[in-house]
Amino acid sequence: MRPTWDEYFMEIANVAKKRSTCSRRQVGAVIVKEKRILSTGYNGVPTGIKHCDEVGCLRDKLKIPSGERHELCRGLHAEQNAIVNAANFGVSLKGSILYSTTQPCILCTKMIINAGIEKVVYENGYPDGLSLEMLKEAGIELLQI
């Protein structure tokens, strides 16, 4: 059966997450406008930095729960990488839709709002109520599938 557009782009986000080098969670993101892919991303360290699967996870070592103390992570989230990748190529995200395999955290939410992304579609929840509140307050449509 032919997938809906949401199913199609979410499937691509699920393929993107396979590139993740995070030892805790693999996340993929795709940003789309007018049914065309603008950018993709997955969670992992900045370019040229050793991957967490090589040097270990600081958050695991410190027993930091999911959704807390994001600043103690070597990696960027999939949504952040997708936004940065678009910026590196001069691609505006205004009016776009972000598909993510996981609900955005508060850090990603702030970037999503300022990037002009109008809708977020995600699969799995994430323990970050503030991100949901801010997305709603910013008028960004949110859909879990």
Question: Is 108 known as a binding-site position?
Answer: yes
Helices (H), ranges, 1-145: 5-16, 52-55, 58-61, 78-88, 106-115, 129-137
User: Within a 13 Å sphere around the CA of 79, how many CA atoms are in the beta-carbon half?
Assistant: 25
Q: Catalytic one among 7, 54, 79, 141?
A: 79
Residue 79 is among the residues annotated as catalytic for this protein: yes
Number of Cβ within 10 Å of residue 15's Cβ equals 14
Q: Which two tokens stand for residue 47?
A: 């370019």
Question: Is 22 known as a binding-site position?
Answer: no
Question: Is 52 known as a binding-site position?
Answer: no
Bind-site residues: 77, 105, 108
Catalytic residues: 79
Bind-site residues for Zn(2+): 77, 105, 108
